[in-house]
A = this chain, B = another copy of it.
């Protein structure tokens, strides 16, 4: 009978990668990609560089995991918010507002909006986003279009444009003097933009 190890390999591995990604998310989000060293991340996770380089190809790969994690989180938030709305159109509007609110999180802005494109390149960012944030947006738009609530056009391209507008709105909002008071006006403008696409 094989003796039982205190922790299986999968457990060890999973625990350390989780701790690494969590620490990286914290530091990348606070200080940005370039000023954050792998060594600092490993130390914050209670280990050394060796562990990090064992589980990740390099700094960019670790960042990628953090980026994906951020995407997962916001996609979840968007889904939940949209699910509470009665119809496809109001779900779309609610999603936009939720996204803007999420942009008040500095770590999200730093990782997803500022560093993401530079570190991963547009190709990869878009690929990841299309599996999360953009996916939710696309589904919402398709639903609205299917309900006949939206004027005709190229929906994938439209999603992309709206998404770009929302990202910019998020930055604008977050860097305003009083984000809480600026939210309604920015959200209103975003909804006006979206509303103008309504049939």
Residue ranges of A at the interface with B (Cβ–Cβ < 8 Å): 32-34, 109, 113-115, 117-119, 121-123, 126, 151, 153-154, 157-158, 160-169, 171-172, 175, 185-186, 188-190, 192-193, 196-197
Contact = CB atoms under 8 A, between A and B. Distances in A.
Contacts of A113: 117, 122
Contact of A123 (B122, B175, B188): B175
Contacts of A151: 192, 196
How many copies make up the complex?
2
Contacts of A160: 168-169, 172
A62 to B, nearest CB: 15
Contact of A166 (B158, B164, B196): B164
A114 B117 contact: yes
Q: Which of A32, A118, A126, A169 has the most CB of B within 10 A?
A: A118
B117 A189 contact: no
Contact of A172 (B32, B157, B193): B157
Nearest to A174: B122
